[in-house]
Structure 1
């Protein structure tokens, strides 16, 4: 069965035991932490040349954007190509959703040359859009 990240939202960081860490992938754990901070937003997470939605956000994106949603490890997931981000963010906002864009803070080339090449990419929320903040063609 699919494990729900809502259950993990009720526990603090100190309560994440070894079993929980082994159940979720590092990317899923990173998403869970971001979702705790931005519960009311649909989050787009940059993963290479695409943006991924996880869990309930993936189901919302699949419904609103008419894209495929499937189970991957512990979460439902959906993805869009990075060059179409602006179009899909605009569509989600037009449907009344608050959308958060989480970008990778390092490139694959820099990571490969660095000492932390086997660790997870660092990511952070770079934009949060609502109907009142989505203005103009070149916002992203």
Structure 2
């Protein structure tokens, strides 16, 4: 079960990154002013948020399966606290992605929608890039 969850967590990482880039590509040009926040921008931000939530759920399941002990894949981390930082910042990424979605939905006017979507998606993406264990294999299928 652990290896299956770890493989899914690894694969969903790429979905998070790809959907985050798509959301930024769709929302950043709208910061200039005269664009309409369409259903396509809305879907890109919502898809990014959904992928982040799935990633967080898989990560929490990994922690539950290991009994909150030291997860073996973090054995080669530069510092012992990385496992807990990874979990804590993962929650913050989910909060930022949710804010991008909900604030862009509720904002008055297209400029405010683009601003909310782009800024919170950007924060979520920055945190995501900081918390990916880049020293691990980029694609890991059923191996630790």
Which TM-score applies when normalising by structure 2?
0.28
Higher strand share: 1
TM value normalised by structure 1? 0.29
More helix by share: 2
Q: RCO greater where, 1 or 2, for CA within 8 Å and sep 6 or more?
A: 2
